[in-house]
Chains A and B, each alone.
Chain A
Amino acid sequence: QLQLEESGPGLVKPSETLSLTCTVSHGSINIDYYYWGWIRQPPGKGLEWIGSIYYSGSTYYNPSLKSRFTISADKPNNRFSLELTSVTAADTAVYYCARDGAGSYQGGWFDSWGQGTLVTVSS
């Protein structure tokens, strides 16, 4: 069964850059037509889609997040990453990576999720 696991620092200082990695096992990020996404959830709040990367390498982001995010893929190591610049306290959240299960260019729903990693922004 497909497994995803997030890794990265649990604590980041304001104005610094956050880097998270999602390692995929029992499956490949190279499979045609799948998207791989990042979603975050501030403590006690709802889910917010950050962005997704297509198998081809094309990326799509939430326009409301003001271009501070970059998603990239490391195909040889079967993982994909999220970078967030100039973090503030508002970026404190659990960050999830997930696979879009639609298997088509249209994209769709997230059928496999990592367990999430809490990132706290604080000096």
Chain B
Amino acid sequence: EIVMTQSPATLSVSPGESATLSCRASQNIDSNLAWYQQKPGQAPRLLIYGAFVRATGVPDRISGSKSGTEFTLTISSLQSEDFAVYYCQQYDDWPPLTFGGGTKVEIK
């Protein structure tokens, strides 16, 4: 099973600043990674797939990158609607599909 490790668990950021979230895979997953945003009481929302590709309607201040088995979600100029929990998910080798433990982005 591929283990996805997200860090940090919580990120405190001021509105207007940038946030950098990390997700590490336990083995090579190429670019087979997705990112989701989840707000309280809501279902997850797809942000990024293929490590880099923004889903429909996702603003271009949200971007994905990778270096080896380390993946990064960058949110620039944080707005109020960006404060949420973010999950990564690998789909390179499954079953099982596996998610990271999540990073909560909170207002500083």
Interface residues of A (CB under 8 A from B): 37, 46-49, 51-52, 60-64, 96, 98, 101-102, 106-111, 113-116
Q: How far is the CA of A49 from the CA of B87 in the complex (A)?
A: 13
Q: How far is the CA of A51 from the CA of B46 in the complex (A)?
A: 18
Nearest CB in chain A to that of B32: its residue? A108
* B98 contacts A by Cβ under 8 Å: yes
Chain A residues lying within 8 Å of B87, measured Cβ to Cβ, are 46-47
Number of B residues near A (Cβ < 8 Å) is: 23
Total A-B pairs in contact (CB under 8 Å)?
68
Nearest CB in chain B to that of A51: its residue? B95
Q: Are B99 and A113 in contact (CB under 8 A)?
A: no
- In the complex with contacts A101-B49, A108-B32, A109-B49, A114-B43 CB distance below 8 A: yes
Nearest CB in chain A to that of B44: its residue? A113
Nearest CB in chain B to that of A60: its residue? B95
Give the shortest distance, in Å, between B101 (CB) and chain A (any CB).
5
Nearest CB in chain A to that of B42: its residue? A115
- In the complex with contacts A47-B44, A96-B43, A116-B43, A106-B96 CB distance below 8 A: no
* B107 contacts A by Cβ under 8 Å: no
Q: Are B55 and A111 in contact (CB under 8 A)?
A: yes
Q: How far is the CA of A61 from the CA of B55 in the complex (A)?
A: 26
Give the shortest distance, in Å, between A56 (CB) and chain B (any CB).
16
Q: How far is the CA of A68 from the CA of B82 in the complex (A)?
A: 37
* B83 contacts A by Cβ under 8 Å: no
Q: Are B102 and A107 in contact (CB under 8 A)?
A: no
Q: How far is the CA of A47 from the CA of B87 in the complex (A)?
A: 8
Cβ-closest 3 pairs across A and B: A109-B34, A113-B43, A49-B97
Nearest CB in chain A to that of B99: its residue? A47
Give the shortest distance, in Å, between B13 (CB) and chain A (any CB).
21
Give the shortest distance, in Å, between A100 (CB) and chain B (any CB).
8
Q: Which of B43, B49, B55, B99 contacts A48 (CB 8 A)?
A: B99
Chain B residues lying within 8 Å of A102, measured Cβ to Cβ, are 49, 91
- In the complex with contacts A46-B101, A47-B87, A110-B46 CB distance below 8 A: yes
Mask for B59-78, Cβ within 8 A of A = 1, else 0?
00000000000000000000
Q: How far is the CA of A98 from the CA of B44 in the complex (A)?
A: 10
